[in-house]
Chains A and B, each alone.
Chain A
Amino acid sequence: MEPRKKKRSIIADIWHRFKKNKTAVGGLLMLCILLFFAIFADFISDYDTRAIHHNSQNRLQQPSMDNFFGTDEFGRDIFTRVIFGMRNSLSMALSATAASLLIAIVVGSIAAFYGGLLDSFIMRILDMFMGLPMILLAIAISASLGPGGGNLVLAMTISQVPSFTRITRSAILNIVGQEYIEAAKSYGSNDAEIIYQHILPNAIGVIIVQATMAVSTTILSIAALSYLGLGIAPPAPELGSMLSDGREFMRHSPNMVIFPGLTIALIALSLNLFGDGLRDALDPRLKN
């Protein structure tokens, strides 16, 4: 019972500090609203009739009560496409970030904990990956694998692993040097126990903050790759590909590019605000 009670108070403590930061709470609120639309998209609008069904009588309409954001060149409702596109982008970004985080935690903790040759070997390989700008690596991977949602997630995962691993490694290195790790070693804990019980719980804060920020950059990268035609196959809606479709009609139907872009920006902004607030709340020393 004892350690559990303590853990709860830490979370309450973090929440207490987080609450005071108004912009961060605003970010969280915005994020919840966007998530609401993405999760309950099926209840809000109908995918088959409004998101992918062509309706030539209803082309390029301006926003109205029936079509909040207007319609596109095939008469599809832009609002419906935006919320379903948001769902697609968010689920791709979340799965890519989760996957790369998992790999990074395993590789990073092995490198930091064992050090020596293994560590330098892993780090040299990462250095090579870091020689490629992330978006370029993602473009190269999804170009070679071909367009498609799964390939895009794979490309984003691989391109994020190097920087993530670096961050987890340095977060863990800070902890490996602490005295309580030595104490744990001295009373005979094995390596796995030390990593899972003593190191990871202490490093997880930094890692979670990085992950929040990473979801935001991943959303932007996924939109960019989809804009270039490397995303999920049409007619499935995706925010980035909606922008490239809308470009042609931009002069007379600017709503085709304004709303999807604004949605991407709002997702990224709310994640950044939330991540910033979380960082300050997790580590009060960083706040001046």
Chain B
Amino acid sequence: MLKFILKRILLLFPVLLGVSFIVFTIMSFTPGDPATAILGTGASAEDIERLNRELGHFDPFLVRYGNYIRGIVTELDFGSSFRTRQPVFDEIFARFPTTLRIAIGAIILAIIIGIPIGVVSAVKQYSIFDITGTVVAMFMASVPQFWLALMAILVFSLHLGLLPSTGIDTYRHYIMPVVTLSLPTAANIIRLTRTTMLEIIRQDYIRTARAKGASEFNVIMKHGFRNAMMPVITTIGINFGFLLGGTVLIEAIFAIPGVGTLTINSIRTMDIPQTTASVLFLAFIYVIMMLVVDVLYAYIDPRIRSKYMTQKKVKTVGA
């Protein structure tokens, strides 16, 4: 198990390097030059020229990327924001807790809503509960998240005056962002749990469990649900990625000072180092989440682990 985890962690590095290369490449297409962004258009041409040279703007692309990576590896230096002149990660770390609280809150809420509804829908297939659940889930998966957020503001802040529409000072500020962020994910979890459970409750071992005289609750929870966990965990992991992407929008709508708004603001102000670092940071969290999912997968299902082991063995024998 430890070996498996270590191996997965080692595999992270090439992926992260690749992600950084992709993001750096994309950002290098941004028009304009760093010195103008830092000094403003009022600065003299010589000053701009000199600062650009200092910053290595005229170096070939690969040299710039190499320097960027060297800075990260040797000094953990991701560059400084054009706007604040502070190291980019100062701001990211200051804002990250807010984003994390919203994302984790949303994923937990989505699990709490999604799994029970999915299980009950499958057990009581074609009942009123099932049909309502499926239709609502379908609708939730199709509604644009940020529109849902706007509608929530319209109803709960502007008309009922129950909840604050912007900022993140008290726990009441968290309610609307977390709920709107979680609903599409909850819908995905409902749909997947239902399909998986439907497949599993038709398996022979479920009939065996019933024949043994296990109570219906035990049959469903112990024999059915445990086996349905695998695909559900994977979607939760994948959905966490959507959630991280979604926080960018949700934060923009509720004016929440998180990493998402930071990304959008730095895009608007053409602050390239800040944008690159924020996107890289969100991607890093996503990749870590995927790793956790993989490890959980192996932990819950010994079949995966053994498959992983035998595959390796077969390969070495074949070679």
Contact = CB atoms under 8 A, between A and B. Distances in A.
Interface of A: 124-125, 127-129, 131-137, 139-141, 143-146, 216, 220, 223-224, 227-229, 240, 243, 247, 250-251, 254, 257-258, 261, 264-265, 268-269, 271-273, 276, 288
A261 B147 contact: yes
Given A140-B27, A288-B202, 5 more contacts: A129-B22, A133-B283, A134-B245, A143-B267, A269-B139
B202 A131 contact: no
Interface in B237-270: 241-242, 244-246, 248-249, 252, 263-264, 267-268
B158 A132 contact: no
B138 A131 contact: no
B275 interface: yes
Contacts of B162: none
Given A135-B248, A227-B146, A265 B139 contact: yes
Contacts of B150: 243, 247, 250, 257, 261
A250 B28 CA distance: 38
Interface string B147-181: 10011011000100000000000000000000000
B224 to A, nearest CB: 15
Contact of A228 (B16, B141, B264): B264
10 contacts: A127-B15, A127-B18, A128-B19, A131-B18, A133-B241, A139-B263, A220-B142, A220-B144, A272-B138, A272-B142
B245 A250 contact: no
Interface residues of B, number: 49
Contacts of A216: 142
B18 A128 contact: yes
B217 interface: no
Nearest to B21: A128
B267 A139 contact: yes
Contacts of B248: 135-136, 139, 228
Nearest to A230: B267
A240 B150 CA distance: 12
Nearest to B29: A144
Nearest to A146: B31
B286 interface: yes
B147 A133 contact: no
B94 interface: no
Contact of A132 (B29, B143, B202, B279): B279
B16 A250 contact: no
Contacts of A272: 138, 141-142
Nearest to A134: B245
A131 B283 contact: yes
A133 B18 contact: no
Interface string B215-242: 0000000000000000000000000011
B283 A136 contact: yes
A250 B154 contact: yes
B18 A125 contact: yes
A185 B312 CA distance: 29
Contacts of B60: none
B198 interface: yes
Nearest to A135: B245
Interface string B91-135: 000000000000000000000000000000000000000000000
Given A136-B279, A140-B279, A288 B22 contact: no
A229 B269 CA distance: 13
Contact of B287 (A131, A139, A140, A223): A131
B62 interface: no
